[in-house]
Amino acid sequence: MISEYYSSIRNRIGSDLLLIPSVACLVRDSEGKLLLQRKNDGTWSLPAGAIEPNEAPRTAAFRELKEETGIEATRLELVDVYGGSDFRYTYPNSDEVEYTVVVFACEGTISSDQVIDEETKELRYFSEEDFPGLELPFPLNVLYPKETNQPNQALQTTSASARV
């Protein structure tokens, strides 16, 4: 769902390119599988969303994770920042966006049985072998790190399942 702020900009610029600062959350289960959300259009994504005016990236990550998954983050760790033309996307309605994404590894507890975000159809953990792919080209070695000293390797949810 688009916020009033981004909606007002979109109303002024039409479908022209809009740069959007955003966050994405890497959440793992105890087996190291990555949590993805299936959107209503059938595509899979990381729990993610736009940073709102006057909102710090960490605050946005806490908010988006709770809204989209019901997980209350207890710890966030900066992984990396991605952007540029590889993170440009055209929506079915022809709106063009280019995301600059601050990625956090997140640890937390599942606080709700239901997904709060109306855009989320399903939550599921995926191993690298079952990974369905994402619209945005996050590097696979960031999503599924091989080295145990990478910051996002150790962070995980404390519940056995976040399936909705």
Rounded Cα distance, 1 and 87, in Å: 19
Task: Supply the pTM of this predicted model.
Answer: 0.85
In a domain, 34, yes or no: yes
Which band of pLDDT confidence, cut at 50, 70 and 90, is reported for residue 154? very low
pLDDT computed for residue 135 by the predictor: 87
pLDDT (tens digit, 9 = 90+) per residue, 24-68? Answer: 999 999 899 999 999 888 999 999 999 999 999 999 999 999 999
Instruction: Give pLDDT, residue 120.
Output: 84
Residue 79 lies in a domain: yes
One-letter-per-residue 3-state SS of 140-158? HHHHCCCCCCCHHHCCCEC
Q: What whole-number distance in Å separates Cα of residue 97 and Cα of residue 91?
A: 8
Mean pLDDT computed over 87-105: 96
**More confident call, 30 vs 111:** 30
Please report whether residue 121 resides in a domain.
yes
CATH (domain of 72): 3.90.79.10
Residue 13 lies in a domain: yes
Contacts (Cβ under 8 Å, ≥6 apart) of 148: 154
Domain count, the chain: 1
Sign of the CA dihedral with 9 first, then 17, 53, and 43 last: positive
